[in-house]
Amino acid sequence: MRRTVIDNQSHCAYTGLVLSKLNLETLPRHHAATVDAIDWTRLSPPEARRLRELGFDEGVPVEVLHRARLGGGPIACRIGRMTVALRRAVAAAIQVTIPLPAE
């Protein structure tokens, strides 16, 4: 697996795995992750509602599939069994966790 720069690393006390705190905007492609928390305050009410309607919720598995052109295009991600397109600002409000094998 490709090495990626990850901020905010911490060891999980029970499993010894390195858990990294990321958001959906910075999550590398094709890494299985789960939604950790969603910062609803960064979203407008309609955005927040649509995000919930599309199934974004704590504990749901997500994966980044594609990013449109360099320079801030939208992100396509898999949530549940759906593919959803989001803008980066919205993706940045979605905190995710990926378990990585211990070094």
Partner 1 sequence: MEHPPLVALVGNPNAGKSALFNALTGARQKVGNYPGVTVERHSGRLALADGRPVELIDLPGAYSLDPSSPDERVTRDVVTGKSGLERLPDALIVVVDAANLDNHLRFTLQLIALGLPVVVALNMIDLAERDGLTLDAAVLERELGVPVIPTVAVRRRGLEDLREALARAVVPVTGVVPLRPSDGSVQDDIVTLQRRARRIATAATVAETSGRRWMHLLDAVALHPIGGPLLLATILFVMFQAVFTWAKIPADAIDAGFAGLQGLVAAHLPDGFLRSLLADGLIAGVGAVVVFLPQILILFLFILVLESSGYMVRAAFQMDRLMATVGLSGRAFIPLLSSFACAVPGIMATRTIEDEKDRLTTILIAPLMTCSARWPVYTLIIGAMIPDTQVLPFVRLQGLVMFGLLLIGIAGAYVAALVLRRTVTKGASSGFMMEMPKYQVPRLGDIALGLWQRALVFLKRAGTTIAATTMVLWLLLSFPKPPVGSGISPVDYSIAGRIGHGIEQVVKPIGFNRDIALALLPAMAAREVAVSAIGTVYAIDDSDGKGTDRITDQIRGRWSLPTALAFLMWFVFAPQCISTIAVTRRETNGWKWPLFMVGYLFAAAYVMAGITFWLATFAGL
- Which positions lie near partner 1, rule CB under 8 A? 44, 46-47, 49-55, 57, 65-74, 76, 80-87, 89-90
Distance in angstroms (rounded) separating the CA atoms of residues 83 and 85: 7
State the Cα torsion 52-38-75-66 to the nearest 10°: -100
CB nearer to partner 1: pick between 9 and 83: 83
Shortest distance, CB of residue 76 to partner 1, whole angstroms?
5
CB nearer to partner 1: pick between 21 and 88: 88
